[in-house]
Amino acid sequence: MGALILLTFVTGLFSVAPAIDSPNYLLEARGNFDQSIFAALNQFVLALIYLAIALVLYPLLASFNKALTISFLSLRIVATTLMIMGTLQLLSILSLSQNIAQTNPMELETLSTLGSILKTNRDNLNHVFMVLVLATSNLLLYYLLYVSKCIPKWLSISGFLASVLSILASILLLFQVYDVISSAYLILNAPTALVELTLASGLLFAIFSKSVKAKG
């Protein structure tokens, strides 16, 4: 599972689409078609990895609390669905940008309005509702890991608190306290990334240590 968590960082990094996130996103997306497609592909893979992690953990966690584990898996399915919907919004913006050069001035305002709606929907899906659902699933995950004692208690507690900060970040974004690409949003989500990186490194180190002991 450590490898899957690390893959979320790799695909998450490559899923960033600067052209789509820029103020002149329609023109920027048109000039960065391949990069935007690559970002969309990585976002789709990232969504599947989030679900795969839940499926891998299900047998272990269900032995401690099946009801909460089912809730955890259900929330991951919802988060995956929302992320895929966000990917479709990205592709729609990209498709719109390819047609803007052939648009006459009379229709340009209409296309710009449509692009703004698509971008707002994408931002809400990816950075508000998907993160809200994913972070809520993480609350259940770290509680179950705390109860099961599968990882150190301090890491479970850290993960739980980090998830609360991610939820707060998305709620503040929903109420437009700050923009999507802002230092405040990134800072509030940074603890979640740090905890997951620590968890992934610990799991990989444990597997490596067992392998070395087995050979010895």
Cα dihedral 126, 120, 16, 193 in deg (nearest 10)? -40
Residue 22 exposed, middle or buried by CB count within 10 Å (0-12, 13-18, 19+)? middle
Would the pLDDT of 99 be above 70? yes
Q: Which domain holds residue 185?
A: 2-215
- Tens of pLDDT along 51-90? 999 999 999 999 999 999 999 999 999 999 999 999 999 9
Contact 144, 65 (CB under 8 A): yes
Binning pLDDT at 50, 70 and 90, where does residue 101 land? low
State how far the Cα of 36 lies from the Cα of 56, in Å rounded to an integer: 30
Structural domains counted in the chain? 1
Average pLDDT estimate for 24-32? 87
**CB-based contact 134:50 (threshold 8 Å):** yes
For residues 94 and 35, give the distance between their C-alpha atoms in angstroms, rounded to a whole number.
Answer: 11
